[in-house]
């Protein structure tokens, strides 16, 4: 099966052949109808570039690894990328579900057993390492493949926990994952993620929730599948980039300033304007450190994704003596979130815990 690395062989094809190939690509991916949405047009553009050999960034990688929180849509994105690039998928989730089915237990129970039985993780690790050593380009749908598979483009998806729970309850990967309610889906997703994060940190010394582990991070909370895929293709088919590329969901970014006063100061020129938001991350929360005006513009324009610069996450310092994990609790205020919502006409799915709310009901 052809990989994206084989695509350069058609770069010298005569224009008529490229045109015929374009027609076949459109027919294969969109049926009789030409793409109509912006995201579909961007996907078509990327497809044409792939097939004529102008595939930029992906030429630097053999494999693609996709990790993400439960309910983030990583399996759906993986399947779509596999279809577009003509690559096979290696899914550790599928391996876990097969194991769970054979044992007659849930995925959560498999993770609990793996905390005590190292052979479960070792079995999957060996498969990842063996597949990653192959010359055939593959897509790895796995929370840990980025750590084991060399020469890979590392994609990570994040999502609001309430959105994830609704997705998991609505769309189950198998009969092994059967949720009686959204609340159960949320609890199981949290338990599963916490178990894997703790287990992988203890066994491998890595934090799967650390965004800087990856080349591209996308918040899928509000973004449809074709938009997420389009963002991935833009990076893969574009010029090489340095460091983490982050695409945040504007409706998920928590403000950490008094919004009315700050936005007025920026509009009057009393405070500097920013081209993009600068954010911090304390899983699962994304919060603005600077660039609230850029975030405000994105909300007013109803953008679903916005490029953002990650300045600090987890135990990294935001200010002297204050880490990203501490900053949101100590520095943000609930009333600022309410004002931000009223200005932009939306509601946050969840409010993070903040010091001003301690002791209040």
CATH number at residue 83: 3.40.50.300
The answer to whether position 7 is within a domain reads no
Given pLDDT bands bounded at 50, 70 and 90, which one contains residue 169? confident
Mean of pLDDT values over 327-352: 94
In the chain, what are the helix, strand and coil shares in percent, each to the nearest 5?
A: 50, 15, 35
| Stretch 168-181: mean pLDDT | 66
Q: Is the peptide bond before 59 cis (omega within 30 degrees of 0)?
A: no
Q: Which helix (H) or strand (E) holds 90?
A: strand 88-91
Average pLDDT over residues 144-151: 89
Domains of the chain: total: 2
Shared domain for 193 and 307, answered yes or no, is no
Question: CB of 273 within 8 A of CB of 306?
Answer: no
What is the full DSSP assignment across 272-322? Answer: ---SS-EEEEETTEEEEEE-HHHHHHHHHTT-S-EEEEEEEETTSEEETTE
One domain for residues 132 and 242:
yes
Residue 15 has a pLDDT of 41
pLDDT band at residue 16 under the 50/70/90 scheme: very low
Which helix (H) or strand (E) element contains residue 114? helix 107-116
Report yes or no on 202 lying in a domain.
yes
* pLDDT band per the 50, 70, 90 thresholds, residue 38: low
Domain hosting 270: range is 255-357
DSSP lists the bridge partners of residue 154 as 65
Task: Count the neighbouring beta carbons within 10 Å of the beta carbon of residue 191.
Answer: 15
Average pLDDT, the chain: 81
Confidence of residue 53 (pLDDT cuts 50, 70, 90): very low
Phi, psi of 127 (to 5 degrees): -65, -45
Q: Give the residue-averaged pLDDT of 337-354.
A: 93
Per the listing, tokens 């577009």 go with 84
pLDDT of residue 124: 75
| 96 close to 199: Cβ distance less than 8 angstroms | no
Contact assessment for residue 63 and residue 138, using Cβ atoms and an 8 Å cutoff: yes
Higher pLDDT, 332 or 61: 332
Read off the tokens for 342.
Answer: 């009223």
Residue 216 lies in a domain: yes
Do residues 160 and 260 share a domain? no
Q: Is the pLDDT of residue 286 over 50?
A: yes
Stretch among 80-84, 119-123, 135-139, 339-343 having the lowest mean pLDDT: 119-123
The SS3 call for residue 243 is coil
184 and 165 housed in the same domain: yes
Under a CB-based contact definition with an 8 Å cutoff, are residues 57 and 240 in contact?
A: yes
Domain end (from 192, 220, 246)? 246
Residue 257 has pLDDT above 80, yes or no: yes
Q: Judge if 155 and 282 occupy the same domain.
A: no
Do 96 and 205 belong to one domain? yes
Question: In the prediction, which pLDDT does 267 show?
Answer: 78
Burial class (CB in 10 A: 0-12, 13-18, 19+), 243: exposed
Query: Could you tell me if residue 34 is inside a domain?
Result: no
pLDDT score at 17: 44
Which residues lie below 8 Å from residue 85, measured CB to CB, with a gap of 6+?
Answer: 3, 4, 50, 64, 137, 139
> Percent of the chain at pLDDT above 70?
79
Residue 29 inside a domain? The answer is no
- Distance CA(107)–CA(104), nearest Å, equals 10
Per-range mean pLDDT, top range of 14-28, 112-126, 256-270, 330-344: 330-344
Helices (H), the chain: 15-30, 38-52, 74-85, 92-103, 107-116, 118-132, 145-148, 161-170, 182-204, 225-236, 259-268, 292-300, 324-331, 334-344
Most confident of 170-184, 262-276, 301-315: 301-315
> Do residues 225 and 166 touch, judged by C-beta distance below 8 A?
no
Q: Is the pLDDT score of 147 beyond 60?
A: yes
User: Higher pLDDT residue, 238 or 301?
Assistant: 301
Whether 50 maps to a domain, the answer reads no
Residue 341 included in any domain: yes
Distance CA 88, CA 78 (A): 10
> Could you tell me if 195 and 292 lie in one domain?
no
The pTM for the full model equals 0.78
Same domain, 239 and 273: no
Distant-in-sequence contacts of 28-34, Cβ < 8 A, 24+ apart: 29/83, 29/84
| Pair 242, 259 in one domain | no
Q: What is the pLDDT of residues 55-72, one digit of tens each?
A: 444 556 789 999 999 899
Residue 60, pLDDT score: 65
Please, which pLDDT band fits residue 173 given cuts at 50, 70 and 90? low
Q: Give the model's pLDDT for residue 37.
A: 62
User: Is 163 in a helix, a strand, or coil?
Assistant: helix
The residue from 223, 246, 269 where one domain ends is 246
User: Among 42, 34, 27, which Cα is nearest to 227's?
Assistant: 42
Residue of 194, 156, 205, 219 whose CA lies nearest to 349 = 219
Q: Give just the sign of the alpha carbon dihedral 6, 241, 79, 23.
A: negative
Residues 220 and 303 in one domain: no
pLDDT at 117 over 50: yes
**Eight-state DSSP code of residue 69:** -
Same domain, 237 and 317: no
pLDDT at 50 over 70: no
Q: At which residue do the structure tokens 């460091």 appear?
A: 243
Instruction: Out of 2-11, 195-204, 294-303, give the one with best mean pLDDT.
Output: 294-303
Examine the fold and report which residue of 191, 219, 246 is the final residue of a domain before the chain moves on. Answer: 246
Q: What's the pLDDT tens digit per position in 72-90?
A: 999 999 999 998 888 899 8
Residues 232 and 290 in one domain: no
What average pLDDT does the segment 263-291 reach?
89
Q: Is residue 88 part of a domain?
A: yes
């Amino acid at each position: 099966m052809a990989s994206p690395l084989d695509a350069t062989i058609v770069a010298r094809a005569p224009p008529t052949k490229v045109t015929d190939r374009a027609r076949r690509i459109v027919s294969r991916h969109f049926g009789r109808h030409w793409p109509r949405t912006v995201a579909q047009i961007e996907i078509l553009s990327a497809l044409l570039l792939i097939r004529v050999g102008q595939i930029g960034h992906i030429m630097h990688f053999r494999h693609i690894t996709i990790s993400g929180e439960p309910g983030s849509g990583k399996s759906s994105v993986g399947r779509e990328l596999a279809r577009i690039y003509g690559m096979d998928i290696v899914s550790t989730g599928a391996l876990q579900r097969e194991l769970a089915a054979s044992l007659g237990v849930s995925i959560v129970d498999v993770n609990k057993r793996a905390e005590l039985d190292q052979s479960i993780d070792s079995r999957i690790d060996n498969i990842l390492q063996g597949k990653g050593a192959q010359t055939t380009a593959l897509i790895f749908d796995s929370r840990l493949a980025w750590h084991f598979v060399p020469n890979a483009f590392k994609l990570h998806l994040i999502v609001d926990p309430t959105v994830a729970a609704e997705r998991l309850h609505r769309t189950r990967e198998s009969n092994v994952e059967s949720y009686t309610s959204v609340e159960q889906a949320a609890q199981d997703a949290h338990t599963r993620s916490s178990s894997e994060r703790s287990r992988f940190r203890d066994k491998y010394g890595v934090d799967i929730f650390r965004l800087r582990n990856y080349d591209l991070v996308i918040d899928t909370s509000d973004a449809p599948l074709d938009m997420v895929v389009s963002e991935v293709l833009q990076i893969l088919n574009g010029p090489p980039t340095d460091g983490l590329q982050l695409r945040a969901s504007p409706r998920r970014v928590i403000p950490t300033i008094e919004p009315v006063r700050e936005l007025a100061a920026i509009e009057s020129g009393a405070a500097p304007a920013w081209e993009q938001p600068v954010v911090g991350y304390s899983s699962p929360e994304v919060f603005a450190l600077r660039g609230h005006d850029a975030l405000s513009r994105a909300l007013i324009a109803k953008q679903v994704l916005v490029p953002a610069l990650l300045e600090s996450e987890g135990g990294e310092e935001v200010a002297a003596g204050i880490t990203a994990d501490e900053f949101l609790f100590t520095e943000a205020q609930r009333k600022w979130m309410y004002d931000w919502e009223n200005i932009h006409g939306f509601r946050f799915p969840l409010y993070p815990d903040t010091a001003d709310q301690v002791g209040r009901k």
